[in-house]
């Protein structure tokens, strides 16, 4: 059995203000740092054999905090970046509605055919994220792999690993500093934890 620990980065100012942060390289805010420290403490006794993360600052900082005290290389993976929202980067949904009403309508009526002007198509984003799974093939069974990324790519990975069509992507929730666990066996894949944030319960 391989054990995959899927972690979304801590909160940022863009998250707090509900702005679209795809390729925007925003950093964790103070609350985000506290969230990740709590997650680090939760995972302190967990055996981790390898760490992969998106190469954007908010994911790298999250991985570095969780990895503190462990003698492990953090492998930065561009394929784990959030979707490139293009012209919508840094905007709230309300602002997108005013500037790009057709895009706002497409976001509301989500399908796999959505494409962000100046950014990625959703199908292109899925294909790019799926490439990450090739990295896992080199790991022997019975290893525990920490994967730190963003809400979008993590949901793509969960759907792909479980054999769920990506059209259900939007039905999965992945909050900041959440932990999900996928266990892979020779004959099946088991989702044993999804979007758990119990370590943040005393957050204000």
Asked if residue 176 is part of any domain, the answer here is: yes
Instruction: Give the pLDDT confidence score for residue 21 in this predicted structure.
Output: 94
Asked if residue 160 is part of any domain, the answer here is: yes
pLDDT tens per residue, range 103-125? 999 999 999 999 999 999 999 99
pTM score = 0.95
- Determine the average pLDDT of the residues in 57-70: 97
**Is residue 140 pLDDT above 90, yes or no?**
no
**Is residue 202 pLDDT above 80, yes or no?**
no
Judge residue 94's burial from the number of C-beta atoms within 10 Å of its C-beta, 0-12 exposed, 13-18 middle, 19 or more buried: exposed
Asked if residue 75 is part of any domain, the answer here is: yes
Judge residue 88's burial from the number of C-beta atoms within 10 Å of its C-beta, 0-12 exposed, 13-18 middle, 19 or more buried: buried
pLDDT tens per residue, range 142-187? 999 999 999 999 999 999 999 999 999 999 999 999 999 999 998 8
Asked if residue 135 is part of any domain, the answer here is: yes
Question: pLDDT-derived band of residue 141, with 50, 70 and 90 as boundaries?
Answer: confident
- Determine the average pLDDT of the residues in 42-66: 97
What separation in angstroms does the CA of 51 have from each of 55, 116, 149, 194? Answer: 12, 30, 11, 19
Asked if residue 115 is part of any domain, the answer here is: no
Question: pLDDT-derived band of residue 204, with 50, 70 and 90 as boundaries?
Answer: very low
Our answer to whether residue 139 is catalytic in this structure is no
Asked if residue 100 is part of any domain, the answer here is: no
Instruction: Give the pLDDT confidence score for residue 175 in this predicted structure.
Output: 98
Instruction: Give the pLDDT confidence score for residue 45 in this predicted structure.
Output: 93
Of these residues, 98, 139, 150, 199, which one is catalytic?
A: 150
Our answer to whether residue 199 is catalytic in this structure is no
Number of domains forming the structure of the chain: 1
Asked if residue 104 is part of any domain, the answer here is: no
CATH number for the domain that contains residue 51? 3.40.50.1240
Instruction: Give the pLDDT confidence score for residue 186 in this predicted structure.
Output: 85
Measured distance CA(45)–CA(63) in Å, rounded: 16
Asked if residue 172 is part of any domain, the answer here is: yes
Which range marks the domain in which residue 62 is found? 2-83+121-200
């Amino acid at each position: 059995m391989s054990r995959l620990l899927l972690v979304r980065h801590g909160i940022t100012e863009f998250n707090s203000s509900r702005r679209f942060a795809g390729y925007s390289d925003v950093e964790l805010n103070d609350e985000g740092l506290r969230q990740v420290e709590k997650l680090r403490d939760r995972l302190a006794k967990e055996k981790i054999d390898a760490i992969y993360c998106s190469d954007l600052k908010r994911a790298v900082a999250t991985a570095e905090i969780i990895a503190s005290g462990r003698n492990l290389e953090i492998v930065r993976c561009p394929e784990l970046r959030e979707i490139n929202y293009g012209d919508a980067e840094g905007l709230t949904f309300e602002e997108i509605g005013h500037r790009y009403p057709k895009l706002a309508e497409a976001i509301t009526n989500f399908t796999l055919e959505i494409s962000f002007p100046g950014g990625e198509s959703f199908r292109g984003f899925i294909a790019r994220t799926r490439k990450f799974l090739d990295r896992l093939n080199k790991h022997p069974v019975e290893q525990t792999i920490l994967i730190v990324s963003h809400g979008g790519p993590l949901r793509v990975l969960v759907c792909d690993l479980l054999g769920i069509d990506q059209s259900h992507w939007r039905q999965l929730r992945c909050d900041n500093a959440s932990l999900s666990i996928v266990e892979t066996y020779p004959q099946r894949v088991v989702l044993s934890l999804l979007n758990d944030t119990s370590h943040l319960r005393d957050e204000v």
